[in-house]
Structure 1
Amino acid sequence: MLERFIRGLARAKWAILLAWLAIAAVSVLALPDLASIVRQTEQKFVPADSESVVAKNLLTRINPESTTKSSAILVYSREGGMTGQDRAWLKAKAAEIAALSGKDGFKSVQSAYETPELASKFRSKDGTTEMLIVGFAGTDNDAVTQDAVDHLNERIKDAPAGSKVELTGSAPIGKDFQQSSSDGLQKTELLTVALVLVILLIVFRSPVAPFIPLITIGISLVITRGLVAAATHWGMPVSSFTESFLIAVMFGAGTDYCILLIQRFREELSRDGDKVEALVRTVRTVGKTVAFSASTVFVAFFLIGFAQFGLYQSAVGVSIGVAVTLVAGLTLTPALLMLFGQATFWPSKVAGGQGHGDSKLWGAMAALAARRPVAIVLVTVILLAPLTLLYHNKRSFDDLAEISPSLGSVQGFHQVERSFGSGEVFPLSIALTSSVSMRTPEALAAMESASASVAKLSGVKEVRSAVRPLGAQLADLTVSDQLTKTSEALRQLKDGVNRVADGLRDAETSVSGGQGDVDKLAGGLRTMAGKTKDAQAGLDQIHDGMKQSSKGADALAGGLKQSAVVSSSMGTDLTALLKSHPELKDDPSMRQLLGKQQGLADGLKQLQGGADRLSSSFAQLNPGIAQVASGLGQLSSGQTEAADGAVKLRGGLKALTGGLSAGAQGLVDVSTGLAQVQDATKAIGDSQIPGWNLPQAALDSPEMQQSLDYYIAKDGKTAKFDVVLAVNPYSPEAQDTVGQVRDALRHSLAGSALKDANVYVSGTSAQITELKAISKSDFLRTGGFVLIGIFIVLMIMLRSLLAPLYLLLSLVFNFLVTMGIVEFIFVKLLGKEGLSWSASFFIFLIIVALGVDYSIFLMARFKEEYRPGGIRQAMTKAMSTTGGVIVSAAVIMGGTFAALMMSGVNTLLQIGAGIVIGLILYAFVFMGLVVPALANLFGEANWFRGKRGNTARRQE
């Protein structure tokens, strides 16, 4: 049946070629464009249920109308300081961008001109740099956002001469990354085709043969791109790596399969010159090898689809490419071989040849592996094992390191870093949720305490929240500041009381003087009845003194009432303070303060009572004086009554003098008490005790309400904290700080009014911590799946349990050696912080999935040549005939991945270098020595009992 199928392929060669060309044309015309889909795809692939994504969604509740999904920072700088012309240009540009809000993807702009109170946040202290923050309605990779970034770039080209303007932030950095990847992909495609063509020319020494794999793979790649793009509509993830890996794997593996087919076709064609029979024999023998080889690659990339991490999953599209390449390799390649026939190898002649001929070098290595298998394994392990110790899995998550430092987004980032600190570009945004409203004094006090706890962390520059809108504590709302102001108010009250006391002493002196005059008057009335006019004059003088005393008493009463009001207010404030901060109840200074305040209130009550009695005395005294004056008018009616009135007047004055003296002494006592209260209050204020108090009047102020609306949702159940880091957001220190911030917030809120609140952290640094954990666990999990899948394929093909085990162990060991070398080159020699965080996964995947192909090439030919008891002979023949193919395949595969090193993307550079090192090392060291040594070492134990191997080599 297989033979009939192959002969059918030979007869329908033109139909097969036309069918593949038609499918490729339909794919281009009818299926989506993969490149455009990749450009609009988020590259981080953080799971939807991750903390950072949940935080982002929660933060949109605060102010949905003004929430942006991505942003750009316009960085304007001039060496030596900005000029008036610079600021005028920036102000006009801010207004111009603000007018775009709601159009073409633009949503908002923040600047020193839009919000003057925040000018210090947008202007550097040295006066050389200023920022505008532009918000976009779409995510970084949305087409409308990328167009908006382009639009913004056009609008800043008219900046004043001598200045420097760059765009940085999430959207420009994302756009530059995508553009770099796209440009790199184009270079990779051209370099890959050129390298494959050159290598094939060298391998086949024919200008015709290279076009068979190039046509096969080129058509397969066109079709695969359309199929992968269409699969995205059913949830298949893609990334910038998808296209790069499609090109490298399909050209690398596909060319290897074609070389195997062409080499075997040449070998079979040399026997009788019948191209149809040669094709039948070729497909019947190495066709299975190609199928099994492609199956391992397909299984490896297909199992990537079970990864939890989207970026890893994005490589699953390669499995589609491998499947298409396999079908093309077993249909289109045979059809092309039939079309070209012996012309495939022109100008060489096939007659009498045996493919590429037996390799003497590989034959010698086979002989060595047969004679000294144990020594080869031990020496290889001893020499290579130390290289694995160079691998410490140091990973870098710096997106900026992925692209050229000459790009504007990178230069803009570093300008912000120099002038403001890198944390300003990518701050942490923290969502706080609660089942009750957080727009209360108690909740805001808890937020202030939490903000203070986070601000103390070494990796934090400042914390911005509803209670710290400018990133600093509001001093007017601190307990210490409020106590200091209370102390000043007490000082002013004490001074007022002292002035009243002085007035009372003056009044006492006046009254005492009046009492002496009355005594003289009484004596005069008894002894000098005739001196009426003198007595009348004395009474007039007394009457004036009483008026002055009455005024002093009124002033005293007013002062005492004011003092009582102030004392009552102070008591209310202290009560509110204790209610907000119950921990102050046990403070000795506070207890002393409360006691003195209560004493002051009681003293003022007594003093006010004395003042009331004093006022009553004046009210009684004034009619008496009037009566005396009237009596003087009626002096002729009787001096005796006048004398009695004078005696009564003397008694009243005596009582008044006593009252004034007591009042003055009471005020002296009040003044002393106020001085003690002031001293105690000032001491507490100066001690900077912790605490925060938000009076209702401050809460209702327009400024506070504006801050609440920006940081807390209308229902009060969602709040935001912005944490500006003091370290680079991509650095390991930033990743450590994320956990510290989360812990500090939860610990601070645990004992407050928000003890049941939930904390969710988002931002670049937070995403990196999630990527670090997710990618590591997924590497182990998915890597295990890949190894198991390849083991099953090898077990079915080789019909052995032992051989697949040592083949996979050799691949894993080769991977560890490769990573040690790669990390040493990039980290130790080139000074990188670490390898790109995804490089190790993809190097592992490709080395294992493609490196196992060489094992299949060798072991398949080995089984074909194997006879029981003839392991050495079979391995020698397999190595001498396939060694050249393995070398050619490794060189071609390494060449296709070497093209990635020219892409301009750091991750692809490292992946390309790792795969080139790994595949060359595996092809020459492991396939040339270790695997043959292990096969000879285990002997017949390689195979299931009673199995004679695969189909015997066809006898001539």
Structure 2
Amino acid sequence: MERFVRGLARAKWVVLIIWLAVTAAAMFGLPDLQGIVRQTEQKFIPADSESVVAKQLLERIDPESTPKSSAIIVYSRAEGLTDSDRSWLKDKASELSAEKGGEGIKSVTSAYDNPDLAVKFRSKDGTTELVMIGFERPENDTVTQEAVEKLGGALSGAPSGSDVYLTGSAPISKDFQSSSEEGLRKTELLTVALVLIILLIVFRSPIAPFIPLVTIGISLVITRGLVALATEYGMPVSSFTESFLIAVLFGAGTDYCILLIQRYREELSQGGSKEDALVRTMRNVGKTVVFSASTVFVAFFLIGFAQFGLYQSAVGVSIGVAVTLAAGLTLTPALLMIFGKATFWPTKVQSGQGHGESKLWAGMASLAARRPVAVLLVTVILLAPVTLLFEGKRSFDDLAEIDPSHGSVQGFRQVERSFGSGEVFPLSISLTSESSMRTPEALAALEIASANLARLEGVQEVRSPVRPLGEQLTDLTVTSQLTKTSSVLEQLKSGVDQIGGGLTAASNEIALGEGDIGKLTNGLRMMSTQTVKAQEGLKQIHSGLQQSSKGAGQLAAGLSQSADVSASLGADLHKLLEAHPELKDDINMQMLLGKQKGLADGLAKLEQGASGLKQGLGQITPAISQAAAGLGQLASGQQQAADGANKLSSGLVELTGGLKEGAKGLADISGGLSAVNEAQQGIAGSGEGQIPGWYLPKEALDDPKLQQAIDYYMSKDGLTVKLEVILAENPYSAEALTTVGQIREMLKQSLAGSSIGKPELNFSGTTAQIGELKDISRNDFTRTGTLVLVGIFIVLMLLLRSILAPLYVLLSLGFNYLVTMGIVEFIFVHLLGKPGLSWSASFFVFLIIVALGVDYSIFLMARFKEEYRPGGIVYAMSKAMTTTGGVIISAAVIMGGTFAALMMSGVNTLLQIGAGIVIGLVLYSTVFMGLVVPAMANLIGEANWWPFNKRQSEPAKQDYNAKEVPAIES
């Protein structure tokens, strides 16, 4: 070590030049980290996660027209849109449509392209209208971001008094990056300013502060380039990477520099050359700096083993720590040698005067030595209840990370007010089956599932192949079809009543009629023949009704044949009149002709309404059978009348009876039709509050509008279907997550046992991803946090050559974390009214408090170990506290200052992380380092070094513990 330091001292200018050259090479030869972060997906959902799988499946439905990301133009006017507003928006939509295929735009959809969509794109209150823009590439892609930028510029010049915003996935992503970059710039400036001010206060010199600033500044520039280069080999980065680099490097790096500079000042005061002072400094605290940096390096390096990409993105800090450590062990000593005692100008370093001992820490050392048990009990009693405030409430609202003044946030809020927040980020569900779902049965199952989902409290609307606009296709409901059938039955009943009335009138007139019996006999024989045909037609109707599920067409054919028979009957009557003109004036014949026309009209109406009689007509089958029997009796009576011309009186009587029987049969038909109609009305009325039945005839599949909807929501092979659920709650809310679980269960129940074979569900969209983030981040926190604690324990064990001391140091860090999070959650959730802490805040607060807080333990415990001699636990701890207490406070203030700068970034997560770390560091550097850890060390005594305490070779100094422990001074 000594040879290395002396060589470093002699080559101080060479060292400085080398670092400056490396810095220049990094600036101009390595990639730009900020540019890479700008193009990186920030949610880091694993490739095999459900939402990613769902998105890939849904893209198969129509890969040519499915956009990778989207934007929503939100046009509004508080008092309601005017004609000029709509005209401007229509022209703008047309301009954008003309640019499809260029500028990254893939699709433009508005109410002007498809009037059917007006109800979805225009708010009910008339204040807001939307235009949907689809992009060819993901939202983080450079082409998409440039397209959003140009799109924002193209929306200028709107009519006065109106507001135009861009929201949706791509604009929100762009504004998130802008907010992060603005926050990063603020953080850099504030961090440098805060560190400079604190160093000026600590060193009371204008020169000393620049040694840490130059060291850390050079380290940061080089680190940025190296991290950017590492991304080419798979290292993930995020918007947090640079923020943490700045905070950790300026915080921890400055701490290491302070430790070196303060010890260098102490060694200069002991006399000798500045080179000798540097050698003693590096010999005494060089190892402490190495182990301190090692704990931070290990903690952030182990983050690389996390499964979640956002957590992994912090691994770049480990590179920064390694570079900073190298600079701290070479560049900082070189600068100290260059400036020498001038480092502390205008203060003079006099012989025998170090950096002084802290009276406050001497007092805490005395208290921890005299009353260790009391100190521990009081600390636990006072702080343990605070940990109960930490309930783990988390928020996943990305919009909270963005400055509310950004257009994407304002646009989202406008859509939320006018349409509901679910419109911006719908829940997309892919449903796959082993067989095609382009069948009436499968579509009916989808309608049942859609109707069940629409009934859930947290669901605003469901869109599917059978509900393209989010509403049920009423023409295909059984209720609607029964209503139409009821109208047809009314017409059918009216026709039947007319026929029955005609037959009754005919029988009465024939009974009273007189005329040419022979001519009448021939006419009756012809009527008998035609009546038999009519009977056959009704028999066919009867047969068709018995197969009602298949026989709507057969009923139409039977009625058509009956109409033909009736027409033939009319033709025969006209032929009879042509053959016997003298019958034209016969009143009976005239009435018979009129009633025959009524029969023909009634049958024509029956034929028109037959297609709607598929369901429920089984009830009129007996009536039709009776009608056929009646007509048979009518035909028999007519034949008897013809054969019994010689017995005209009796023949006419029998004919009259047959006609009456026919009339009676038709009256039964009328009664049966009335019964069917009443039954249908009862069925239609009973559906109130229930899911109405649904029936899709095969021929309806050929309807162009229905086919268009099916093609939009279903793949060509019918194996994949898209369901869009518009949530009634904010997609980022906890209520939305609950609703997603209910939707999943409802779909499983609705599709179980349906005609859809082996249905599989995959959910995507903002709310679905939030659910995945919740589970992934929680599991990774537990796993990665354990690795970090184990790694730090090993480093501490190697440094302190002890097992017990690292254990209680880690316990103190863990307890400090729980207390810190209790305070942070109380401030942000209970006092400020947030729904929860940002979902990643608790992890990063834990990581940084543990990784950086342990540095202060190392500062103290390393000096404790340095001062320790067998039998001198109390004295060694007291000496360590009085000499390093000021350094620990200074380091904590600087570290807290760098993370306090994050609170000014304007990014909600960084605000909470910064607040948590500041609170945690203040607690740990005072309460825990000043009282808890020393009390534990004093309580354990010689066992601090177990199981390596026997290896102490230096003899014990007598009365070490008897030496006076510094008392608390007022």
TM-score (norm 2): 0.89
Q: Which of 822, 843, 852 in structure 2 is aligned with 1:820?
A: 822
Unaligned 5+ residue runs, structure 2? 522-579, 958-970
| 1:668 partner amino acid | A
Q: Tell whether the 8 Å contact from 2:88 to 2:158 is kept in structure 1 after alignment.
A: yes
Q: Which of 748, 753, 756 in structure 2 is aligned with 1:754?
A: 756
Mapped partners of 1:652, 1:285: distance in 2: 139
| Alignment root-mean-square deviation, CA | 2.6
How far residue 345 of structure 1 moved from its aligned partner, in angstroms, is 1.4
Change (3 A) 1:388 1:949: farther
Q: Deviations over 1:40-83 (max 9, x none)?
A: 11111111111111111111011111111211111111121111
How far residue 865 of structure 1 moved from its aligned partner, in angstroms, is 0.8
- More displaced, 892-901 or 270-279? 270-279
Cross-structure match for 2:724? 722
| 1:596 maps to 2:596 | no
| 1:750 partner amino acid | A
Q: Deviations over 1:746-780 (max 9, x none)?
A: 11000211251101111111111111111111111
Cross-structure match for 1:21? 20
How far residue 945 of structure 1 moved from its aligned partner, in angstroms, is 4.5
Unaligned 5+ residue runs, structure 1? 523-537, 575-592, 622-644
| 1:774 partner amino acid | I
Q: Deviations over 1:159-217 (max 9, x none)?
A: 00011111111111111111011011011101111111111111111111111111111
For the residue of structure 1 that corresponds to 2:269, the secondary structure is: helix
Cross-structure match for 2:629? 606
**What are the residue-to-residue correspondences of 1:82-481 with 2, within 5 Å?**
82-481=81-480
| 1:288 partner amino acid | K
- More displaced, 496-505 or 731-740? 496-505
Q: Tell whether the 8 Å contact from 2:495 to 2:602 is kept in structure 1 after alignment.
A: no
How far residue 434 of structure 1 moved from its aligned partner, in angstroms, is 0.8
How far residue 562 of structure 1 moved from its aligned partner, in angstroms, is 5.6
| 1:232 partner amino acid | T
Change (3 A) 1:217 1:691: same
| 1:700 maps to 2:702 | yes
Q: Tell whether the 8 Å contact from 2:84 to 2:159 is kept in structure 1 after alignment.
A: yes
Cross-structure match for 2:931? 929
Change (3 A) 1:541 1:447: closer
For the residue of structure 1 that corresponds to 2:108, the secondary structure is: strand
Over the matched positions of the two proteins, sequence identity in percent amounts to: 68
Q: Deviations over 1:502-545 (max 9, x none)?
A: 122222233223248869x99xxxxxxxxxxxxxxx99459845
Change (3 A) 1:951 1:502: farther
Mapped partners of 2:581, 2:91: distance in 1: 83
Change (3 A) 1:951 1:716: farther
For the residue of structure 2 that corresponds to 1:691, the secondary structure is: coil
Mapped partners of 1:758, 1:646: distance in 2: 79
How far residue 570 of structure 1 moved from its aligned partner, in angstroms, is 6.1
Q: Which of 593, 597, 615 in structure 2 is aligned with 1:551?
A: 593
Q: Which of 835, 838, 853 in structure 2 is aligned with 1:836?
A: 838
Mapped partners of 1:539, 1:860: distance in 2: 135
Mapped partners of 1:946, 1:122: distance in 2: 75
Mapped partners of 1:298, 1:203: distance in 2: 26
Q: Tell whether the 8 Å contact from 1:568 to 1:601 is kept in structure 2 after alignment.
A: no
Mapped partners of 2:796, 2:598: distance in 1: 107
How far residue 952 of structure 1 moved from its aligned partner, in angstroms, is 7.5
Q: Tell whether the 8 Å contact from 2:637 to 2:654 is kept in structure 1 after alignment.
A: no
Mapped partners of 1:237, 1:160: distance in 2: 45
Q: Tell whether the 8 Å contact from 1:293 to 1:856 is kept in structure 2 after alignment.
A: yes
- More displaced, 804-813 or 65-74? 65-74
For the residue of structure 1 that corresponds to 2:62, the secondary structure is: coil
Q: Tell whether the 8 Å contact from 1:518 to 1:650 is kept in structure 2 after alignment.
A: no
Q: Tell whether the 8 Å contact from 2:637 to 2:651 is kept in structure 1 after alignment.
A: no
| 1:205 partner amino acid | R
Cross-structure match for 2:486? 487
Mapped partners of 1:436, 1:826: distance in 2: 52
Q: Tell whether the 8 Å contact from 1:78 to 1:162 is kept in structure 2 after alignment.
A: yes
Cross-structure match for 1:639? none
Cross-structure match for 1:626? none
Mapped partners of 2:609, 2:404: distance in 1: 67
Change (3 A) 1:554 1:708: same
Cross-structure match for 1:633? none
Mapped partners of 1:262, 1:270: distance in 2: 12
How far residue 5 of structure 1 moved from its aligned partner, in angstroms, is 1.6
Q: Tell whether the 8 Å contact from 1:72 to 1:171 is kept in structure 2 after alignment.
A: yes
Mapped partners of 2:904, 2:411: distance in 1: 25
Cross-structure match for 1:947? 949
Q: Deviations over 1:122-158 (max 9, x none)?
A: 1111111111111111112111111111111111111
Q: Deviations over 1:859-882 (max 9, x none)?
A: 111111110000111111111111
How far residue 236 of structure 1 moved from its aligned partner, in angstroms, is 0.9
Q: Deviations over 1:825-875 (max 9, x none)?
A: 111111111111111111111000000000000111111111000011111
Q: Tell whether the 8 Å contact from 1:872 to 1:936 is kept in structure 2 after alignment.
A: yes
Q: Deviations over 1:549-591 (max 9, x none)?
A: 76368547747866886897566x23xxxxxxxxxxxxxxxxx
Mapped partners of 1:3, 1:329: distance in 2: 16
Mapped partners of 1:539, 1:221: distance in 2: 118
| 1:606 partner amino acid | A
| 1:438 partner amino acid | M
Q: Tell whether the 8 Å contact from 1:564 to 1:601 is kept in structure 2 after alignment.
A: no
Q: Which of 881, 884, 889 in structure 1 is aligned with 2:883?
A: 881
Cross-structure match for 1:68? 67
**What are the residue-to-residue correspondences of 1:638-787 with 2, within 5 Å?**
647=646, 653-654=652-653, 656-688=655-687, 690-787=692-789
How far residue 396 of structure 1 moved from its aligned partner, in angstroms, is 1.1
Q: Tell whether the 8 Å contact from 1:72 to 1:172 is kept in structure 2 after alignment.
A: yes
For the residue of structure 1 that corresponds to 2:693, the secondary structure is: coil
How far residue 660 of structure 1 moved from its aligned partner, in angstroms, is 2.6
For the residue of structure 2 that corresponds to 1:90, the secondary structure is: helix
Q: Which of 799, 802, 809 in structure 1 is aligned with 2:801?
A: 799
How far residue 613 of structure 1 moved from its aligned partner, in angstroms, is 6.3
For the residue of structure 1 that corresponds to 2:949, the secondary structure is: coil
- More displaced, 601-610 or 750-759? 601-610
| 2:801 partner amino acid | R
Change (3 A) 1:564 1:89: closer
Mapped partners of 1:505, 1:415: distance in 2: 72
Change (3 A) 1:283 1:354: same
Q: Deviations over 1:706-727 (max 9, x none)?
A: 1101100111111011101111
Structure 1 stretches of 4+ moved >6 Å? 611-618, 948-953
Mapped partners of 2:832, 2:952: distance in 1: 49
Change (3 A) 1:136 1:604: farther
Mapped partners of 1:782, 1:365: distance in 2: 35
Count of aligned residue pairs for this structure pair: 896
Change (3 A) 1:542 1:925: closer
Mapped partners of 2:352, 2:280: distance in 1: 16
Q: Tell whether the 8 Å contact from 1:561 to 1:608 is kept in structure 2 after alignment.
A: no
For the residue of structure 1 that corresponds to 2:74, the secondary structure is: strand
How far residue 404 of structure 1 moved from its aligned partner, in angstroms, is 1.9
Mapped partners of 2:605, 2:922: distance in 1: 94
Q: Tell whether the 8 Å contact from 2:623 to 2:665 is kept in structure 1 after alignment.
A: no
Q: Which of 837, 856, 859 in structure 2 is aligned with 1:857?
A: 859
Mapped partners of 2:954, 2:160: distance in 1: 80
Q: Deviations over 1:76-134 (max 9, x none)?
A: 11121111100100111111111121111111112111111110111111111111111
